[in-house]
Amino acid sequence: MQVLPGGRWKHPETGHWFNGRGRPVAPPDLIALLQTRQTKVVLAAAHLNHDPTVNRLRNLRALCQRCHLLHDRVYHLAQRRLTFRRRLAFGDFFEGPYRIGVTLDETGTG
């Protein structure tokens, strides 16, 4: 599949161009066509209600990896926040409170 840096892509069978949301757009000009790159699309099964225990066909959708990440964006942001807070908590537990923005000198005392 041909893809432009801004997210526009060309449907391999019809030759029509679409934006990052899957809406039809005008074909790019010649200068933009020079920036196209060929990519391989890998499909992933997405749970529409974000619950992986519900595997009914009406709850599943085959999405490309980019669309799947966009679909699960809120979940991934929440997981990132939990991971960051967990790392801070483990650091506090083992090494004392983090001092963000402070580097240790050669003696290791701060």
Phi-psi region of 101 (alpha: psi -120 to 50; beta: other; left: phi over 0): left
d(CA 15, CA 92): 56
Nearest to 1 by CA among 16, 81, 51: 16
* Eight-state DSSP code of residue 34: T
Amino acid 97 reads P
Residue of higher predicted confidence among 7 and 99: 7
CB 22 within 8 A of CB 9: no
pLDDT in tens, 38-90: 888 888 999 999 888 999 999 999 988 888 888 899 988 998 999 888 887 77
Does the global pTM surpass 0.85?
A: no
